[in-house]
Amino acid sequence: MPLVYIDHEKIRGKKALTIEYSGFEKGFIESILDKENINYRKEGGVIIVENVTKKQIKKILTKYGVDTKNILVSGEILNFGFLLESISFRRNIKRVCPRCGSINVRKVSFLSGWFTPLQFICEDCGYVGVAFLEVEE
Ligand SMILES: [Zn+2]
């Protein structure tokens, strides 16, 4: 099933929306953003946009033929993300960057670990990998 997941996150202190998708042609969402003149950047497989609301993005996507039932917006549908998060982060596990030792580590992507191996990124040095040390708080 094609799926677009929209979430909002604080990335390096800035509010941003993250868009991830699966099951669509590669570059599909990016081409829509291009057509709408929306600036974005990519980090791993995640599209990051600033100064756009979740509602706006959803509206734009549906305008280009994406079915609303294939758009998951964080907080809208039973907080799907929270459900997954609560499964994988039930214990208070902190991940430690193997390169710089920072614990300022977050999941690269919501869909990471679902379709692909669970990847993490270090906010401090930018290291991306699957081999982060886990320590329990
Ligand atoms: Zn690091």
User: From the CA of 104, how far away is ligand 1's center (Å)?
Assistant: 8
User: From the CA of 95, how far away is ligand 1's center (Å)?
Assistant: 10
User: Is a pLDDT exceeding 90 seen at residue 59?
Assistant: yes
Pick the more confident residue, 11 or 70.
Answer: 70
Q: What pLDDT, on a 0 to 100 scale, did the predictor assign at position 22?
A: 85
The SS3 assignment for 136 reads strand
User: From the CA of 115, how far away is ligand 1's center (Å)?
Assistant: 25
Q: What pLDDT, on a 0 to 100 scale, did the predictor assign at position 114?
A: 60
Q: What is the pLDDT of residues 63-106, one digit of tens each?
A: 999 988 888 887 665 445 445 554 454 456 678 888 898 988 88
* 1-83: in CATH 3.30.780.10: yes
User: From the CA of 121, how far away is ligand 1's center (Å)?
Assistant: 8
Q: Which residues, including other chains, have CB under 8 Å from residue 54's CB and lie 6 or more apart?
A: 6, 8, 17, 73, 74
Of 6-15, 45-54, 60-69, 89-98, least confident by mean pLDDT is 89-98
User: Is a pLDDT exceeding 80 seen at residue 60?
Assistant: yes
User: From the CA of 97, how far away is ligand 1's center (Å)?
Assistant: 5
Cα–Cα separations (whole angstroms), residue 105 to 63, 75, 91: 35, 22, 16
Q: What is the pLDDT of residues 102-122, one digit of tens each?
A: 988 888 776 665 656 677 889
User: From the CA of 128, how far away is ligand 1's center (Å)?
Assistant: 9
- Indicate the domain borders of the chain: 1-83, 91-137
Q: What pLDDT, on a 0 to 100 scale, did the predictor assign at position 132?
A: 75
The DSSP result for 4-20, as a single string, is EEEEEEEETTEEEEEEE
